[in-house]
């Protein structure tokens, strides 16, 4: 005999357009960290989740609980929750919690799939839909997702498109079969206590990078630097992300370098990036330095990333747009003639990588409005070659012309008074 919770979950899965309740539960767990049956108020919360189609009620208002037990509603775009153009207007009712994730649905198309509106989809243009109506969007890596259709806009170095109408589950099933994917951008706004918890993680990250930099010298291997970082993290009770404590990139390596047996030589340019998890809160930072005195060209490149970092943080204030932060970074790099790779900062919090993306160039009048509680990393990355030609080799991003790259970064939080840098060493 099925329990009431099982009946509710099965009915919810079918109502959301899923033929298999087990697949629905698996995707729900991957998206929210627990099964639908673990939601408080089952089955009532599940029925609110299922009946949200066509309504303007908050989604998952009792199913999504962040750290500290606070209740965090999630809203959808596409006419359900008032976000007509979410990439330009982040409208959150003042009666909601001070830390509100906002789900912004964006239409995606898999590489090689026919465009929306082609004969494969029956001539119907597929727009935004429910998070759990598409089993493919969570499985696809972000680098393989593509935007499709008319009305595209460019902001913050990223093309976006806002959905304008809803679709039925049957239409979603056809779109998924045709290779159309839908991705949600979830913006999480943190409370003061949560930001303080993030700052504790950030202090460990900063102390670890300071310890690593103090041991950078000719003849030191990257593996030795990784062991130093591991000891600092272990002493503080922090855990690395993905098994690596630090990501070290030397000379023409931009990002993705791993500690190995390579030995540093006089004149090398070393970039070190790190993300740590302390009691479930993540923070990230990056820094670059030369081995020995270094060349004037390398020092200028490193100074430029530092200046861009300072300018980007200064532009991060309540009421500004994310595009202003991106543009402030890009102005420093472009004016100096440096190349700007298509990588940058991103949101951090309960996960190592969250929305929004923070590219290193953009339009100042576009992007998400910055609200108190928003936490993200600012990571200027410049290449000395002056253009964006890149080469990926073995998972490491390199400059295509063997010129050098530098990387600086901090995790910051938007407060009422401006940006608060979280990755500083608290003495």
Tens of pLDDT, residues 43-101: 444 434 444 333 333 333 333 333 333 333 333 333 333 332 333 223 333 332 333 33
Q: Which residues pair with 75 in a beta bridge?
A: 102
C-alpha to C-alpha distances, 389 to 74, 105, 109, 252, 342, nearest whole angstrom: 39, 31, 25, 12, 10
Tens digits of per-residue pLDDT, 202-218?
999 999 999 999 999 99
Query: From the centroid of its chain, how far is CA 25?
Result: 24
Q: What's the token pair of residue 318?
A: 């309540």
Tens digits of per-residue pLDDT, 6-25?
555 666 566 555 556 666 66
C-alpha to C-alpha distances, 226 to 222, 223, 273, nearest whole angstrom: 6, 5, 11
Q: Is the separation of the CB atoms in 143 and 176 below 8 Å? A: no
Listed residue (377, 378, 358, 353) closest to 368, CA to CA = 358
Residue 283 has pLDDT above 60, yes or no: yes
Domain ranges of the chain: 4-187, 192-421
pLDDT at residue 366, rounded to an integer: 84
pTM above 0.85, yes or no: no
pLDDT at residue 385, rounded to an integer: 85
Residue 305 has pLDDT above 90, yes or no: yes
Q: What's the token pair of residue 179?
A: 């290779």
pLDDT at residue 364, rounded to an integer: 85
Listed residue (416, 328, 307, 310) closest to 370, CA to CA = 416
Helix/strand/coil (H/E/C) assignment for every residue in the chain: CCCHHHHHHHHHHHHCCCCCHHHHHHHHHHHHCCCHHHCCCCCHHHHHHHCCCCCCCCECCCCCCCHHHCCCCEECECCCCCECCCCCCCCCCCCCCCCCCEEEEEEEECCCCCCCCCHHHCCCCCCCCCHHHCCCCCCCCHHHCEECCCCCEEECCEEECCCCCCCCHHHHHHHHHCCEEEEEEEECECCHHHHHHHHHHHHHHHHHHHHHHHCCCCCCEHHHHHHHHHHHHHHHCCEEECCECCEEEECCEEECCCCCCCECCCCCEEEEEEEEEECCEEEEEEEEEECCCCCHHHHHHHHHHHHHHHHHHHHCCCCCEHHHHHHHHHHHHHHCCCECCCCCEEECCCCCCEEEEECCCCCCCCCCECCCCEEEEECCEEECCCCCCEEEECCEEEECCCCCEEECEEEEEEECCEEEECCCCCC
Tens digits of per-residue pLDDT, 99-149?
333 333 333 333 344 443 333 333 332 333 333 333 333 333 333 333 222
- The yes/no answer on whether domain 192-421 falls in CATH 3.40.630.30 is no
Tens digits of per-residue pLDDT, 396-419?
888 888 899 999 999 999 999 999
Higher pLDDT, 11 or 275: 275
Listed residue (191, 208, 201, 193) closest to 278, CA to CA = 201
Helix/strand/coil (H/E/C) assignment for every residue in 21-74: HHHHHHHHHHHHCCCHHHCCCCCHHHHHHHCCCCCCCCECCCCCCCHHHCCCCE
Residue 326 has pLDDT above 60, yes or no: yes
Higher pLDDT, 198 or 73: 198
Band the pLDDT of 171: cuts 50, 70, 90.
very low
Rounded Cα distance between 378 and 305, Å, is 11
pLDDT at residue 250, rounded to an integer: 93
Tens digits of per-residue pLDDT, 344-384?
999 999 999 888 899 999 888 888 899 999 999 999 999 99
Cα-atom radius of gyration of the chain, to the nearest Å?
Answer: 23
pLDDT at residue 401, rounded to an integer: 85
Percentage of the chain lying above the pLDDT 90 cut: 41
Mean pLDDT score of the chain: 68
Task: Kindly report which listed range (154-168, 253-267, 371-385) carries the lowest average pLDDT score.
Answer: 154-168
Residue 272 has pLDDT above 80, yes or no: yes
Residue 318 has pLDDT above 50, yes or no: yes
Residue 263 has pLDDT above 60, yes or no: yes
Tens digits of per-residue pLDDT, 237-255?
999 987 779 999 999 899 8
C-alpha to C-alpha distances, 246 to 287, 356, 412, nearest whole angstrom: 11, 23, 20
Residue 316 has pLDDT above 50, yes or no: yes
Band the pLDDT of 261: cuts 50, 70, 90.
confident
CA dihedral for 125, 127, 129, 135, sign (positive or negative): positive
Buried/exposed 350-367: b ≥16 CB within 10 Å, e otherwise: bbbbbbbbbbbbbbbebb
pLDDT at residue 342, rounded to an integer: 87
């Amino acid at each position: 005999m099925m329990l009431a919770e099982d009946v509710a979950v099965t009915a919810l899965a079918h109502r959301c357009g899923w033929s298999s309740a087990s697949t629905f539960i698996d995707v729900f767990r991957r998206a929210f960290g627990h099964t639908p049956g673990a939601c408080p108020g089952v089955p009532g919360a599940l029925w609110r989740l299922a009946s949200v189609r066509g309504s303007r009620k908050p989604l998952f208002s009792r199913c999504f609980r962040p750290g500290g037990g606070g209740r965090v509603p999630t809203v959808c775009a596409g006419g359900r929750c008032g976000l007509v153009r979410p990439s330009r207007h982040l409208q959150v009712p003042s009666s909601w919690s001070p830390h509100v994730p906002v789900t912004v649905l964006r239409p995606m198309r898999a590489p090689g799939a026919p465009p929306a509106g082609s004969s494969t989809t029956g001539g119907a243009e597929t727009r935004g839909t429910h998070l759990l109506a598409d089993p493919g969007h969570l499985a696809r890596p972000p680098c393989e997702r593509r935007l499709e259709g008319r009305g595209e806009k460019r902001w913050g170095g990223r093309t976006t498109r806002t959905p304008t109408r809803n679709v039925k589950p049957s239409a979603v099933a056809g779109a998924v079969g045709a290779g159309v994917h839908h991705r949600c951008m979830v913006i999480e706004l943190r409370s003061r206590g949560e930001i303080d918890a993030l700052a504790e993680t950030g202090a460990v990250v900063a102390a670890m990078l300071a310890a690593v930099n103090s041991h950078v010298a000719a003849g030191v291997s990257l593996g030795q630097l990784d062991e130093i970082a591991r000891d600092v993290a272990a002493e503080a009770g922090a855990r690395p992300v993905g098994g690596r404590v630090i990501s070290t990139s030397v000379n023409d390596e931009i990002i993705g370098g791993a500690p190995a047996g390579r030995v540093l030589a006089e004149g090398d340019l070393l970039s070190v990036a790190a993300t740590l998890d302390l009691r479930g809160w993540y923070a990230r930072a990056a820094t670059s330095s030369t081995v020995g005195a270094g060349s004037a060209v390398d020092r200028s490149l490193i100074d430029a990333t530092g200046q861009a970092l300072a300018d980007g943080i200064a532009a991060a204030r309540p009421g500004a747009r994310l595009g202003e932060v991106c543009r402030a970074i890009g102005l420093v790099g472009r004016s100096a003639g440096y190349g700007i790779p298509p990588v940058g900062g991103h949101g951090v919090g309960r996960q190592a990588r969250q929305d929004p993306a923070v590219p290193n160039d953009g339009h100042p009048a576009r992007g998400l409005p910055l609200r108190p509680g928003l936490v993200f990393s600012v990571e200027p990355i410049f290449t000395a070659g002056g253009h964006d030609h890149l080469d990926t080799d073995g998972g490491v991003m390199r400059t295509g012309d063997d010129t050098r790259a530098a990387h600086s970064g901090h995790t910051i939080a938007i407060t009422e008074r401006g940006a608060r840098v979280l990755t500083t060493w608290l003495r």
